Amino acid sequence: MHGPSFADQSLPTLPQAPSSPRIVEREPSIAGLKRERSDASSEGRKTSQDESTEEKRERVKKRRRESARRSRARKNTYVKSLELENVQLREENRKLKGMLGKLNQEVPTCFEYSVLDM
């Protein structure tokens, strides 16, 4: 009644790695990710990468300058609209004060008549 022993059971095997592992050198890229470096001269690529990095920086600078210019233009437009609103409100306030002055002159007279009528 001896069943098969544990040693007799075959275990599934995993695929074996190649006997000589491939060594890959890695270096950081611009985005912080790793990329493989080929055996070919990378000096030419570094120059073009530097140029493209410099071009990218210039494009970013240009976009920021344009954005700042648009922001200043929006601010100037906003300030001008506030100045116009200020002028309009001052004029309206002047008119309302004039109307209030006239009403203040008329109100005591109205009260005098209404008191006499009673």
User: Taking 90 as the threshold, does the pLDDT of residue 80 lie above it?
Assistant: yes
Average pLDDT for 76-104: 96
pLDDT in tens, 96-113: 999 999 998 887 766 666
Q: Distances in Å between the alpha carbon of 42 and those of 30, 35, 37, 39, 71? A: 15, 12, 8, 8, 42
Q: What is the mean pLDDT of the chain?
A: 74
Q: What is the pTM of this model?
A: 0.46
